Structure 1
Amino acid sequence: MLSLPWKTFRILLMLLGGGTLLAILLFMAANVWVLASTSRRIDAGPQQCQPRQVAIVFGTSHRTRSGARNPHFEGRMQTAARLIHGLRAEHLLLSGDNSTRYYNEPITMWKDLLDRGVPESAMTLDYAGFSTFDTLSRARDVFAVDSAMLVTQAWHLPRALFIADALGIDARGCAAPTPSSDGTWRLRAREWLARVATLGDLYVWGREPHFLGPQEPLQIDPRPDLSVAVPASEGDTARESVNDSSSSTPR
């Protein structure tokens, strides 16, 4: 006959095993849900991307920890420029982190795209895109965007599209090139966890963006002739959200 402590231990092991199995199943189900509901709206590269008036470009650091140029940043900038020059987007909303005076993703994107011949009139900067959720919430509530192309890497697009759906934004994804590097698998693995967290943000604890402000609809000018690249100059000034600054609430 089994002693009472042993019976208790077996029950605890069974509960622990059952709980672990349930967590794994929920984790897999959440990812399958996000991937399955968005996969048909991801286009592979700017030549295949369906034209939209507005393209939202998600920010990231332009340098890796080693100091090298970030290939994910390069891919997003390359794709964004091609969308403008290929007449597949009329306007770019550049959204990224500007949580300190020394770190400014939107300005870095703006300068890079100017060097690629994108006219400054075709770009608006959002300094409070501290996360994917914040970027899309602000696109809808501050910049009055209800339809957009989302520009980022393919592993990030399912979550971005899922959030856009939940916010009522009609969106398609335009996949930027994904480099083959030792660190890419870490980003992909982290993204699996982020998709699960996103379901909690949207349906459990009702996440809100860190910073909104008054509505400032995008000013989209008639398209200029883009057949000739427009180089950046010292006199260029970025079009930006009036109520956003380096003092915006950090992530």
Structure 2
Amino acid sequence: MSLGTLLLLAVLMFLVGNAWVIARSSPYIESTVTQCGPERVGVVFGTSHWTRSGLRNPHFHSRMRTAAALIHSGRVEQLLLSGDNRTRAYNEPRAMWQELARRDVDGERLTLDFAGFSTFDTLVRAQNVFLLDKAVLITQRWHLPRAVFIGRALGMDVVGCVANDQAVKGEWRLIVREWFARVAMLGDLYIWEREPYFLGPAEPINPINIIEPVTY
């Protein structure tokens, strides 16, 4: 009876935790580029350029496509590219910079964060290192509830912008993993008071001079 009760309680906490995160974040998530912003900075979350099978990662490219569209449409002015760079052979921010350059995004609009080892680290560093109090968060729909929840729990005024892409084979594994990650995040924020892996000195993102076209 005790084991069954504990199991039932764990399942209930799992479901309630996910429902709470989704309910609290959903009002701040926009589905299309035209609904996102306008805001000075967009935060792009890193992921691998390639899948484990050696194919192009559609999630990476949808994030880059959405980020570039936000820049080109004037919905955001600058992008913070935050990802993992723990080894020389794996560099998510550099891959994002290269892909956005290919999509004609000016390098002056890009700031690289090489210590965004997790969603939590990216947002804490965005606030404490890059001194952001407002931002548009760019990633997949299933990832945004956790990202938005963390940002707003930290006191940031953030909104999510969905990086749209087609359904990907095996994506259900990422979605299931995200369910567990949301519950773990609540523990990080309210129980264990997690700290980021690395902070470092402040590096504020300074506004760039945007030259408007002259009309006659």
Q: Deviations over 1:104-162 (max 9, x none)?
A: 00000001001101000000000000000000000000000000000000100000001
Alignment of 1:236-247 (within 5 A): none
Aligned to 2:122: 135
Instruction: Evaluate the alpha carbon distance shift between residue 114 and residue 225 of structure 1 in structure 2; reply closer, same or farther with a 3 A threshold.
Output: farther
Q: Distance in 2 between matches of 1:113 and 1:176?
A: 14
Once the two structures are aligned, what percentage of the paired residues are identical?
A: 58
Q: CA 1:178 to 1:189, structure 2 compared with 1: closer, same or farther past 3 Å?
A: farther
CA deviations over 1:27-65 (Å, ceiling 9, x no partner): 001001100001111111212213111100000001001
SS at match of 1:67: coil
AA of the residue aligned to 2:88: R
Aligned position for 2:187: 200
- The Cα RMSD (Å) is 1.1
Aligned to 2:210: 223
Cα pair distance change 1:194/1:224, threshold 3 Å = farther
Matched length: 213
Runs of 4 or more consecutive aligned structure 1 residues displaced over 4 Å after TM superposition: none
Please give the alpha-carbon distance, in whole angstroms, between the structure 1 residues aligned to 2:61 and 2:157: 26
Aligned position for 1:71:
58
Q: How does 1:63-142 map to 2 (within 5 A)?
A: 63-142=50-129
1:46 maps to a residue whose letter is: V
In 2: Cα distance, 1:171 partner to 1:145 partner: 10
Corresponding letter in the other structure for 1:89: V
Offset at residue 212 of structure 1 (A): 0.4
Q: TM-score, normalised by structure 1?
A: 0.83
CA contact (8 A) 1:55 1:93 kept: yes
2:145 is matched with which residue?
A: 158
> How far apart are residue 66 of structure 1 and its match?
1.1
CA distance in 2, matches of 1:32, 1:51: 29
Contact 1:72–1:179 (Cα < 8 Å) also in 2: no
**Unpaired stretches in structure 2, ≥5 consecutive residues:** none
SS at match of 1:172: strand
| TM-score (normalizing by structure 2) | 0.96
Match of 1:66, as an amino acid?
S
User: 137, 160, 170: which is aligned to 1:183?
Assistant: 170
Compute the displacement of 1:224 (Å): 4.6
List gaps (5 residues or longer) in structure 1: 1-13, 227-251
Structure 1 distance, partners of 2:128, 2:86, is 20
Q: Contact between 1:41 and 1:173, CA under 8 Å: does it hold in 2?
A: yes
Distance 2:107 2:34 in 1: 23
> What secondary structure sits across from 1:148 in the alignment?
strand
Partner of 2:49: 62
DSSP-derived class of the 1:213 partner: coil
Q: Give secondary structure in 2 for the equivalent of 1:47.
A: helix
Contact residue 43 and residue 49 of structure 1 kept, 8 A: yes
CA distance in 2, matches of 1:119, 1:201: 36
Cα distance in 1 for residues equivalent to 2:32 and 2:176: 23
User: Which structure is larger by alpha-carbon Rg, 1 or 2?
Assistant: 1
CA distance in 2, matches of 1:225, 1:92: 19
Pairwise CA distance, 1:177? 1.2
CA contact (8 A) 1:57 1:151 kept: yes
Counterpart in 2 of 1:20? Answer: 7
Query: How far is the alpha carbon of 1:225 from its aligned partner?
Result: 5.9
SS of the residue aligned with 1:87? coil
